[in-house]
Structure 1
Amino acid sequence: MSIEVVGIFMKIQETIYLDHQATTPLDSRVLKEMLPYLEGGFGNPHSTEHAIGWRASQAVEQAASDISSLIGCDPDEIVFTSGATEANNLALLGLAHGKAPKNRRRILLSAIEHKCVLEIGRRLSSDLEFDVEVIPVDAHGHVDLDALAGAISDEVFLVSVMAANNEIGTIQDIEEISKLAAAAGSLLHCDAAQAPCAMDVSQLAVHADLISLSSHKMYGPAGIGALFARRELHHRIQPIIIGGGQQNGLRSGTLPTALCVGFGAAARISSSEEGSRVRSELAELNNKFLEQLNTLPCGVWVNGPLDTKRKHPGNLNIGLQGISAADLLASLQPSLAASSGSACTSGIPEPSHVLRAIGLDGERAASCVRFSLGKGTTITDIQEAARLIEQAVVDLIDIGLLRTG
């Protein structure tokens, strides 16, 4: 299988890539900005006594500025991490180990948070004796605001709600959730790894106290992420990686200049007019894809919001009545790349917690496939994908793998 350069991306020939919520291809414009720091610009951004270090430091500062502009904060409120998982850990564990008030021992998490946030919640409960509670969502994945309002009180330390879901694409009403948290004096953390490709995030830092971001979910390089932490919270966060005290002591370790530069470039592109245009184009393409899949020779339903304004425009999570998602995806290889859930929990033989939270039983959840389109996806891609999926479904039915009952 060969690789060719198509437009601003490298594409693997013969494979249609519809798994952009797992990871996005590196934008060639981002790579171009990174290259000088991968080749000759090798300076340590923390070396303060010579010009090579200064240049690297300036490049990292510019990247922080680009990322801060994306979400509406100041550059010194950006802490670079290895990815959104580390950012989530720093936000929740860092605050909990830091200066959590003794009279605030409750933490509220939405039922469809990323697996790492739910795992952190278990750690906070077992090791630090916080009372961690799960807030339910409706059938489309939106946080039940009445349930949140009923649960929140002046005993709640922190609320964590992701901006855009990684499995069913639900976009939450972060502004309203922030009002409920602020009224109780609680902090709001927002896992926004999927958000830049799903929505306008330019005011997100106005509403949330902490925001986790990931470069490789927005056409930047893998291995780099960031945590926005409101400036007044910095002294309350205990670092989870200790060492030389870089980044104001919040996260030690030498920053990878090239990755920071790439992340900044990806953020700048996402916050431009191109980002808004791409989201609009993806929503239209997604609707056309669904129209074609609705003709499949099995029952089809959509998981997540029906209102495209409240959903990631590239996300299409569907259920195929009587069809095993695992069987379907296996039969599509190597022609089409999609997934049955989060790549971060792949290999775990259990139904998606997100699909269970919106009311699906184990059997129906096992019939669901997530297709996630991106800015490299074309109308030809979705037409060919629909044809491949239809043929795969027909083949599975012909060999007797259609489940009944």
Structure 2
Amino acid sequence: MSAYLDHAATTPVLPEAVAAMTDQLLRVGNASSLHASGRDARRVVEEARETIAAAVGCRPGEVVFTSGGTEADNLAVKGLWWARHDEDPRRRRILVSAIEHHAVLDAAHWLAEHEGAEVVLLEVDGEGRLDLAAFETALADDVALVSVMWANNEVGTLQPVEEVVALAHAHGVPVHTDAVQAVGQVPVDVGATGVDALTLTGHKLGGPCGVGALVVRRELPLTALQHGGGQERDVRSGTLDVPAIAAFATAVELAVGRREKYAARVGALRDDLVRRVVEVVPSAVVNGSTEHRLPGNAHLSFPGCEGDSLLMLLDAQGVECSTGSACSAGVPQASHVLLAMGCGDDHARSSLRFSLGHSSTPADVDAVVAAIGAAYERARRAGVVAGLSA
């Protein structure tokens, strides 16, 4: 049996979410239809919208259902930029942190390539925290929007979202935050922070893949990405996936409701994992913030070896985690997150992310500790042959 430590990629679906989805799969009804079955489906959708709104501190009418986090990020970045730029053509710049998820970064760069936007990558410090002074300096009348993620998907660092919003709003600039990793792990409140748009998704917190939402203030102009039947305030047309939405809302409600106990339990497991791994591999380096961090994230670099090699050796021992670097056309590439944090190429390429979640147990930690020593030595020997610096 494998030890699954890749919850930041996707989580096991909660039994309650499975039950909610199964119940709706056994029913028929298009939420846009006017007959009884359609009205029943619509009621499920609207109740789900209310549940999610209550969980993240917004109004129900501000929840726009999407196919997941990537679509929600694209809708926020492109939709807000188009709307703002149309209102005032001087507003061309997009401010994004240098460690954003590619759903945000690639959407912004697409606008730069095809629509004439100007993308400004905001600097972070060695822990992955935004440089607020540099951010404030970058704000001006030509900025269309800001996108700064609530919690980083690789190193788990939390951003000062409330301070970002305050600075941006002082210049009349709306703020989007990708909170995909944050909801259910740390307190997330749209109203309290004043954030203008927020992304969340189902499969990061015990719901199914293929469903998510963009929370966006109703008074904020937003241009649609796709067109059709006019569903979701006419900014996200398409027949609503009622079973997935029901499961999504159930998962959000449970994850947010259990958050404090979850964070305490998973955080203790994470701390135990880090302490014991460093005991076995003293040269291992913890990446990211120790103070401002997701409870389930342990991101470490193992000098002298390729993260991909270490990943596969651990996988052979039944330990499932993820690498801190992406692979493009079979060629290992250093993580843009770690590079933005000032890490060297070898350091960035030697990284692994262990992410714990609601199904994690002490046995999972034991499995990592039991496997990591021999796996690291073997990967390090291979790294020496490849010419990596220790």
2:51–2:253 CA contact under 8 A, matched in 1: yes
User: Are 1:277 and 2:264 an aligned pair?
Assistant: no
Q: CA deviation at 1:401?
A: 4.9
Secondary structure (helix, strand or coil) at the match of 2:262 reads helix
Counterparts in 2 of 1:293-372, with a 5 A limit?
293-297=277-281, 299-307=283-291, 310-334=292-316, 335-341=318-324, 349-372=332-355
CA spacing shift, 1:175–1:62, aligned 2, 3 Å: same
- Aligned match of 2:107: 120
2:306–2:379 CA contact under 8 A, matched in 1: no
Looking at structure 2, the residues matched to 347 and 215 of structure 1 have their Cα atoms a distance apart, in angstroms, of 30
User: Are 1:130 and 2:117 an aligned pair?
Assistant: yes
Looking at structure 2, the residues matched to 349 and 396 of structure 1 have their Cα atoms a distance apart, in angstroms, of 15
Alpha-carbon deviations, 1:57-87, whole Å to 9, x = none? 1001111111111211111111100011101
Looking at structure 1, the residues matched to 122 and 137 of structure 2 have their Cα atoms a distance apart, in angstroms, of 10
Q: CA deviation at 1:203?
A: 4.1
- Aligned match of 2:367: 384
1:297–1:394 CA contact under 8 A, matched in 2: no
Q: CA deviation at 1:202?
A: 2.9
Looking at structure 2, the residues matched to 345 and 116 of structure 1 have their Cα atoms a distance apart, in angstroms, of 16
1:77–1:231 CA contact under 8 A, matched in 2: yes
Counterparts in 2 of 1:1-400, with a 5 A limit?
14-39=1-26, 41-48=27-34, 50-100=35-85, 101-203=88-190, 206-233=193-220, 236-272=221-257, 274-297=258-281, 299-307=283-291, 310-334=292-316, 335-341=318-324, 349-397=332-380
TM-score, normalising length: structure 1: 0.91
What is the one-letter code of the residue matched to 2:352? Answer: V
Alpha-carbon deviations, 1:240-293, whole Å to 9, x = none? 111111112111110010000011001111221x12110111111111111100
What is the one-letter code of the residue matched to 2:204? Answer: K
Looking at structure 2, the residues matched to 337 and 285 of structure 1 have their Cα atoms a distance apart, in angstroms, of 16
Point out where structure 2 has 5 or more consecutive residues left out of the alignment. none
2:80–2:145 CA contact under 8 A, matched in 1: no
CA spacing shift, 1:330–1:401, aligned 2, 3 Å: farther
Percent identity between the two aligned chains: 38
Q: Which moved more, 1:174-183 or 1:243-252?
A: 243-252
1:300–1:320 CA contact under 8 A, matched in 2: yes
Q: CA deviation at 1:19?
A: 0.4
Secondary structure (helix, strand or coil) at the match of 1:164 reads coil
CA spacing shift, 1:342–1:51, aligned 2, 3 Å: farther
Looking at structure 1, the residues matched to 66 and 202 of structure 2 have their Cα atoms a distance apart, in angstroms, of 10
Q: Which moved more, 1:121-130 or 1:350-359?
A: 121-130
Q: CA deviation at 1:98?
A: 2.6
Secondary structure (helix, strand or coil) at the match of 1:211 reads strand
What is the one-letter code of the residue matched to 2:246? Answer: V
Looking at structure 2, the residues matched to 358 and 256 of structure 1 have their Cα atoms a distance apart, in angstroms, of 39
Q: CA deviation at 1:384?
A: 1.7
CA spacing shift, 1:339–1:265, aligned 2, 3 Å: same
Looking at structure 1, the residues matched to 28 and 213 of structure 2 have their Cα atoms a distance apart, in angstroms, of 22
Looking at structure 2, the residues matched to 197 and 371 of structure 1 have their Cα atoms a distance apart, in angstroms, of 18
Q: Which moved more, 1:244-253 or 1:204-213?
A: 204-213
What is the one-letter code of the residue matched to 2:275? Answer: E
Alpha-carbon deviations, 1:214-234, whole Å to 9, x = none? 11111101000100110101x
TM-score, normalising length: structure 2: 0.94
CA spacing shift, 1:285–1:204, aligned 2, 3 Å: farther
Alpha-carbon deviations, 1:276-325, whole Å to 9, x = none? 11011111111111110011245111110011xx1011000001111221
Q: CA deviation at 1:95?
A: 2.0
1:72–1:206 CA contact under 8 A, matched in 2: no
What is the one-letter code of the residue matched to 2:210? Answer: G
Point out where structure 1 has 5 or more consecutive residues left out of the alignment. 1-13
1:193–1:213 CA contact under 8 A, matched in 2: yes
Q: CA deviation at 1:346?
A: 9.8
What is the one-letter code of the residue matched to 1:196? Answer: V
CA RMSD, 1 decimal: 1.9
CA spacing shift, 1:241–1:106, aligned 2, 3 Å: same
Looking at structure 1, the residues matched to 348 and 196 of structure 2 have their Cα atoms a distance apart, in angstroms, of 34
Q: CA deviation at 1:363?
A: 0.9
Question: How many residues are aligned here?
Answer: 385
CA spacing shift, 1:38–1:195, aligned 2, 3 Å: same
Secondary structure (helix, strand or coil) at the match of 2:332 reads coil
1:21–1:372 CA contact under 8 A, matched in 2: yes
CA spacing shift, 1:42–1:248, aligned 2, 3 Å: same
1:242–1:251 CA contact under 8 A, matched in 2: yes
